[in-house]
Chains A and B, each alone.
Chain A
């Protein structure tokens, strides 16, 4: 299998559609025959990151590269950026507004969950310009 590339534009104004990209990637990975645990790790991390795009950044783009060895996921937004990444990585820390909490998210578990379910996680962020998150799950 050569590499497969997928691209998704995530709208920032429709919370009900958040997760469509992650659902599509899950189906692709299953169709390609990836193991259950690898699929599960990748899509849970991607789903949390996709939710973050909608909640915090007004939408963004998701680029996926699937190779036999690795699932690479890059999420790019032009939102407000993260002022203190170390603080944002702490369980329970959240800047999500109350209306997002009422929808079941914003408990400060998003970034910790992403880290938990990925083998590599890197965040490039600049306040006022946006954030790019690089995630990898290896096919072990």
Chain B
């Protein structure tokens, strides 16, 4: 799935990384627990989270994740946006809740990665 498809499916606002909309994303992970993300997620994934702090971006950076979607209309502050820009990570915000967001992407064919 392309990043722009995620944007369209979730009716999301692109906060930064507009130039990376053509990237491919193969799996998705919805979590507010970054340690779980570090334990299980495969690369080239999109991370959906309701957590707003710099460690969400840093976790994505370590995992080579392409894109972060903040759910429930959450919006990161300027320092988080700058961090994501410096790492070429796309940030989006959707008004949908976590469960609904994951379901909408799943319905369109995006799957979670295998565990371990």
Q: Chain A: residues with CB nearer than 8 A to chain B? A: 15-19, 22-23, 26, 36, 40, 43-44, 47-48, 51, 103-110, 112-113, 116
Contacts and interface: CB of A to CB of B under 8 A. Distances in A.
B51 interface: yes
B33 A23 contact: no
Contacts, number: 71
A22 B62 contact: yes
| In the complex, the 10 A-B pairs of residues with the closest C-beta atoms, listed nearest first | A19-B58, A109-B35, A104-B34, A107-B35, A47-B62, A16-B54, A104-B51, A43-B62, A107-B33, A113-B39
A113 B54 contact: no
Contacts of A22: 58, 62
Interface string B64-104: 10000000000000010000000100000000000000000
B53 A16 contact: yes
B50 to A, nearest CB: 10
8 contacts: A19-B61, A48-B35, A51-B55, A104-B55, A109-B36, A109-B38, A113-B35, A113-B38
A26 B35 contact: no
Contacts of B59: 47, 104
A105 B35 contact: yes
Nearest to A37: B43
Contacts of B62: 19, 22-23, 26, 40, 43-44, 47
